[in-house]
A and B are shown apart, each in its own frame.
Chain A
């Protein structure tokens, strides 16, 4: 079974500052890793994903994440955030066979002017 831990429930940050949202996972099998963003009263939007290959993954809206197998981490980063990045961010893991997805508890990113 897989599990996901998002270490920060809330991250306040000033506009144009860098941000890192932390995610650790556990699994006994190979996994795929994802970051999703959810704006209020909306569905999920995929930011980026790691399936295989390069451990540094670039996504939409200037976000990137690095898969670290030894640390079992998949932290999300953005060098300069905007007010519009304020949202809930979910880290997720799925196995590579059945694709059942397990979500972390979420991190609320709050960008201040």
Chain B
């Protein structure tokens, strides 16, 4: 199957700093990627849809100025958590789909803000 890779797998940052998470489709091109967030003991919630070459589409309640998404190429989307605070600590997962097949998920990034 297709492979989606996330980096880093874990990151600890200080409150007030920004953190960038990368999502790459390794063996296919993806015009659309999705970003999800999972708080402890909860389900995965869709945050935003990343569109190559255009602005991301954010789900209701997700602050677009806090979670900056850039999809500059057909194989890379980045999520930047700006001015991170402890409440942003979460598990972030991306997904992408080769043409006409289902979504494939990255291995996730665990963000801890201290």
A interface, CB within 8 angstroms of B? 32, 34, 41-44, 49, 51, 90, 94, 98-106
Tell me, rounded to whole Å, the shortest Cβ–Cβ distance linking B84 to chain A.
20
Assess the A44–B93 pair: CB atoms within 8 A. Answer: yes
Output the least CB separation between B54 and chain A (Å): 14
User: Which residues from chain B sit less than 8 Å from chain A, CB to CB?
Assistant: 32, 34, 36, 42-46, 49, 93, 95, 97, 102-103, 105-108, 110
Decide if B34 touches A106 in the complex (CB within 8 Å): no
Are the CB atoms of B49 and A32 closer together than 8 Å?
no
Across-interface contacts of A101 in B (CB, < 8 A):
34, 36, 46, 95, 103
From B46, B102, B107, B108, contact of A102 by CB (8 A): B46
Q: Within the complex, which residue of B32, B105, B107 is in contact with A98, where a contact is CB–CB below 8 Å? A: B32
